[in-house]
Chains A and B, each alone.
Chain A
């Protein structure tokens, strides 16, 4: 490994390993030290466990859905209650995935851990609020569980009126849950905006921030601006159900389409809450594992903000068939096309970053490549849906289902997994099996495509979504999709096993296992509870020239040319303040 040796005559900088007292995981013990912790890293880890459990639960529901759809008349549920069971299944799958998993996954789990460390700060601006957000998340989750064990929920995750105001299932418990989760999300976003604005150490200018922070910042703007509208919408929905206020319910002269406008005013920007942090992760992953400066830093940073702002103007494209005037519909279609441009920019920039890089096909890089592949498909099929005439055919069919799964699962989930694999050594100080990680990414990639590619064809052939039973001519495409879903489940399980295995059998991780230049890799793995003893020296986050592979110790280190230093002396007299 000639290329990876440390040039002679240079000083190696590496923080080494943390002591037990420093390590944030071990510096205090007991369940209470976790429950009342104000340390953003511990809160991040608790979120990681929480969202993973939510994902596991909703993932099992997804497998049950696919299993039911093996046969045209339904394989899992039989009898008079079959359709009802299926409806509850897909509603809970959607609601739990969206509200409990995807929205908090990257910002709350990875973001909480990373934002202050990447920034060089000791903590987020409001640590207590941060802990409160986590407990709000838990409370929201409890409401969802209560809905499940009450009379279930069969409205679809969108709670469309007037169905949601007339069904006799636990709509109120679920909407209360979503309302509380909304506030959890608002507080997290608010915390990050303030942290990034006021807690940057000297030298950390806006354009020295890693792109993950830019993406988180853009996400937080959406969380703060859009989520309150969801809050009031859900409150009005609860009032509609209990007091019949007649705003959304046509029986009392309300207008159901108004509900849809209100709902999508939040929920479309929420799509960008889900995908923007993924863009941030991928930008960092591609640059680090290509060991090359990110191409077009400012274009990527600005496009995140552009997406955040444009995302507020396109909610109407969920309602092209719902009864807006043709003029409104056309305007929303035009705006929808504009939002696709900044997303395309990012894909080209990532490719250009890889060009002439030094690519290591590590597990996180494999996930990043899968992300670009899958997200590009998801984005391009959005064009079919943004185009008005074709949307008349495709709206509310499996084409839409496939499209948003390519973006949400192929995009966000794959980026989340890539991020978890990338920062796992930092979070827990353990290296996982590379072979196992890469295998899991391959299985996930194949399983995912097998699940959702057939659904595009199902949709363009006219199979409506949310159908518990279907016409026999759609059967074999559905079966392919089901087999794919099982493969996808196996892949995800593999990833889980690889990660959990590392906790017990993994090698201790060096401070910088990937050769990254951002600040979180300059503290030990795992970081000490105080992150940085003194404000770190902030350099270019994408300057890899000073980072060398130390093959002896299997780690990357920062090297500096040797220079003479003034002997360390303490001044005899302390200077007076």
Chain B
């Protein structure tokens, strides 16, 4: 921990000459006087870092509050599509990982090296299960088109479109293929890492390197946990298909509302409803038809109507809902919940919040792996356990954020 250009040798030598006028063990950085000062600095540093993290997320929580306040019905309606069971399992998994993390900190203080490695591996495994479940949740939604506002294409009549259908929606064939098979794309990096770790394990056993074996063994289990999470997700997601059916039904009713209230003729076949105006572009309605409806337009009728509406809403406030439809009251607005502009926004915020949270989990995994290797090296003891403590605090914060995200996103209906 000495500077590159400072000559630590002479520094240490001078300490030697002075007969260790103060204790300067190897783990103590040169610019600190005592281990306590180093620990306090690290602790204050990590707390400040957590403050910045809280403020980082607070931006998104504020965005959530603003838009939920503007369109409460959209949030409640779209939340139907989130699988509460999977969310609850993830909450439990993260809570348990917090426990193992706290236990790991305790182990590092008491110098129980084996147990510390075990606890860190347990924490890592939990985070992998979490990501596995998340991969299922994401890929399922991507396949159905429950995407951010710009790309949202969910159609209650056809919740699971094929790649060909996706291409007709204007996606390139590559994107369509990705959306349809997103689970494989999400799992691939983890599979590569798993294979790498297994190879490392075998190699280290063959070479008889005990340290590397001791590192690779828990990491193999950790990587396998991801696929445990995926398996869990697959079972629960397919088991809850009925629940989803209900959501589709709700959507279907909404769709019907659109069909009845909309003046544009819509296609109705065998009781099921195809909502025509889900995409703003409504490119199905041919241009000629629109021109035909406009041929009587002198600009006057629509203009007068628009101006009346404009005068009544001209309060300087945000225009709520779809501003192409001024007459719409709240009853009509609920019919528009499942549109790109509306539901898309809920999913935008959902992906932003859970996505940034998942990135934090990935970051946590990286530092936990680093800790795990150091714990195998038996770096930590009762006088030096700062890194474990700091990472523990960070991990608890990441859990805490999820504990807010879960009810705010999953449990609002």
Contacts and interface: CB of A to CB of B under 8 A. Distances in A.
Q: Is chain B in direct contact with chain A in the complex (CB below 8 A)?
A: yes
Interface of A: 27-28, 32-33, 36-39, 121-127, 129, 186, 190-191, 193-195, 197-199, 224-229, 231-233, 235-236, 239, 243-247, 252-255, 257-258, 262, 323, 325, 529-530, 535, 574, 577
B67 interface: yes
A433 to B, nearest CB: 31
A33 B4 CA distance: 6
Nearest to B149: A246
Contact of B57 (A121, A232, A530): A232
Nearest to B44: A194
The 10 closest A-B pairs by CB, nearest first: A244-B150, A28-B5, A246-B149, A245-B348, A232-B59, A123-B31, A228-B56, A122-B31, A252-B149, A228-B55
Contacts of B348: 239, 243, 245-247
Contacts of A255: 66, 318
Contacts of A125: 41, 45
A244 B41 contact: no
B44 A197 contact: yes
A178 to B, nearest CB: 15
Nearest to A116: B31
Given A228-B55, A574-B19, A245 B149 contact: yes
Nearest to B344: A246
B40 A198 contact: yes
A228 B148 contact: no
A37 B342 CA distance: 52
Interface string B114-156: 0000000000000000000000000000000001111100000
A38 B3 CA distance: 5
Interface in B167-196: none
A239 B341 CA distance: 16
A233 B148 contact: no
Contacts of A229: 55-56, 58-59
A121 B31 contact: yes
20 contacts: A28-B4, A39-B6, A122-B30, A122-B31, A191-B45, A194-B48, A198-B41, A232-B56, A232-B60, A236-B59, A236-B352, A239-B348, A243-B151, A247-B63, A247-B348, A252-B150, A258-B66, A529-B6, A574-B19, A577-B23
B49 interface: yes
Given A224-B52, A245-B345, 13 more contacts: A37-B4, A38-B3, A186-B52, A194-B44, A197-B41, A199-B41, A226-B55, A243-B147, A243-B148, A243-B351, A245-B348, A247-B67, A258-B63
Main secondary structure of the interface of B (DSSP, over half): helix
Interface string B23-51: 10000011101000100110011001101
* Of listed A32, A36, A253, A254, residue having the most chain B CB within 10 A: A253
Contacts, number: 152
Contacts of B45: 125-126, 129, 190-191, 194
B3 A37 contact: yes
A228 B52 contact: yes
Contacts of B41: 125-126, 194-195, 197-199
A322 to B, nearest CB: 10
A27 B5 contact: yes
A243 B29 CA distance: 45
A224 B51 contact: yes
Nearest to B59: A232
Contacts of A190: 45, 48-49, 52
Interface of B: 3-6, 19-20, 23, 29-31, 33, 37, 40-41, 44-45, 48-49, 51-53, 55-60, 62-63, 66-67, 147-151, 316, 318, 321-322, 340-342, 344-345, 348-349, 351-352, 356
Given A194-B41, A253-B149, A529-B3, A246 B341 contact: yes
Given A125-B41, A125-B45, A574-B19, A225 B55 contact: yes
B340 A252 contact: yes
A197 B6 CA distance: 25
B148 A239 contact: yes
A125 B6 CA distance: 17
B3 to A, nearest CB: 4
Contacts of A236: 59-60, 63, 352
Contacts of A243: 147-148, 150-151, 348, 351
A493 B321 CA distance: 56
Given A122-B30, A224-B48, A228-B56, A199 B37 contact: yes
Nearest to A535: B33
A122 B44 CA distance: 18
Contacts of A245: 148-150, 344-345, 348-349, 351-352
Given A27-B5, A190-B45, A231 B56 contact: yes
A27 B344 CA distance: 60
B154 to A, nearest CB: 15
A141 B372 CA distance: 35
Nearest to B60: A232
A535 B51 CA distance: 32
A35 to B, nearest CB: 9
Contacts of B53: 228
A90 to B, nearest CB: 27
Contact of A37 (B5, B44, B316): B5
Contact of A253 (B30, B37, B52, B342): B342
Nearest to B64: A247
A259 B255 CA distance: 32
Contacts of B341: 246, 252-253
A1 to B, nearest CB: 41
A313 to B, nearest CB: 15
A539 B4 CA distance: 32
A244 B148 contact: yes
- Could you say which of B19, B345, B348 has the most chain A C-beta atoms within 10 Å of its C-beta? B348
Nearest to A198: B41
B226 to A, nearest CB: 25
Given A127-B31, A198-B44, A236-B59, A244 B352 contact: no
A36 B41 CA distance: 22
Contacts of B59: 228-229, 231-233, 236, 262
Contacts of A39: 3, 5-6
Contacts of A191: 45
A257 B52 CA distance: 24
A254 B318 CA distance: 10
B340 to A, nearest CB: 7
Contacts of A126: 41, 45
A124 B356 CA distance: 30
Nearest to B3: A38
Nearest to B63: A247
Contacts of A258: 63, 66
B77 to A, nearest CB: 15
B51 A33 contact: no
Nearest to B67: A247
Nearest to B29: A127
Contacts of B60: 232, 236
A472 B33 CA distance: 68
Nearest to B4: A36
Contacts of A246: 148-150, 341, 344-345, 348
Contacts of B6: 27-28, 39, 529-530
Contacts of A123: 3, 30-31
Contacts of A253: 149, 321-322, 341-342, 345
Contacts of B149: 244-246, 252-254
A228 B61 CA distance: 13
A226 B56 CA distance: 9
A459 B55 CA distance: 37
A252 B344 contact: yes
A239 B352 contact: yes
B41 to A, nearest CB: 4
B4 A38 contact: yes
